[in-house]
Amino acid sequence: MTPTPANRNGELRGGKTVRVRARLRDTLRDLIVTGALAGGEKLNEMKLSRQLNTSRTPLREALLNLEREGLVRSDLRRGFTVELLSAREVRETYPILAQLEILAVRNSVRFLPALLPKLVSINDAFARARSPSRAIDLDSLWHDTLMSQSKNARLATLVANLRLVIRRYEHLYMAEADLTAISVKQHRAVIAALRRGNLEGTLEALEENYRFGMEALLRKMGEE
């Protein structure tokens, strides 16, 4: 059935509303990830709605989405609060991500040599990144590319959700140029092992990349 103009306008308005709310959620996420909204900070919805030029209803919807991502928490009396950074969350999340990526690589190893030029190119751009946000995006792209041949949609969804959980920890990590440089070298070790056709070496280098990142973050957070 051909939609009436009214229906088309409704669909357009609906699509625009979805995009606006998605941008609002992304803006709030960036404010939390970069530390502009600090862990433990109580969120003043009226102030935020003025700052972001939005009404309280879509703002609250965006905050509820971020609560599902583990970035904020809500309380009937206190409203919304930014979740504190948690050493426990680092310890629990990084090993899971490592094992999921190892599974993806192991299941698609015969297709990975074709990805080598792209992996090298992304890693070179990662080495040149001059901001934590840019470095995070390129690091995530590198890992997503390495996993891309597994074609396991459920695994990819799990990884994407966990990447949202660790994004602000990654911002803390990438804020230190020396640590970013170490990650670049670790990616090169993965690429070198893959080029040699050494699957176990590839997986060991990949697991070391995650292990080092976890331990570096725990030290930065004052944990042994």
**Cβ neighbours of residue 213 closer than 8 Å, sequence gap 6 or more:** 94, 173, 183
197 dihedral zone (left: phi>0; alpha: psi -120 to 50; beta): left
191-223 residue pLDDT tens: 999 999 999 999 999 999 999 999 999 999 988
Two tokens, residue 20:
């606006």
CA distances from 14 to 20, 27, 36 (A): 10, 20, 31
143-182 residue pLDDT tens: 999 999 999 999 999 999 899 889 889 999 999 999 999 9
Two tokens, residue 69:
């991502």
| CA 178 to chain CA centroid, nearest Å | 20
For position 99, what pLDDT does the model report? 97
| CA 49 to chain CA centroid, nearest Å | 25
**Cβ neighbours of residue 211 closer than 8 Å, sequence gap 6 or more:** 94, 95, 98
Q: Answer for the pair 101, 143: CB distance below 8 angstroms, yes or no.
A: yes
User: What are the structural domains of the chain?
Assistant: 5-82 (1.10.10.10), 87-220 (1.20.120.530)
Angle between helices 87-107 and 153-174 (to 10 degrees): 130
SS3 call for 82: strand
89-147 residue pLDDT tens: 999 999 999 999 999 999 999 999 999 999 999 999 999 999 999 999 999 999 999 99
User: Quick check: 13 pLDDT over 80?
Assistant: no
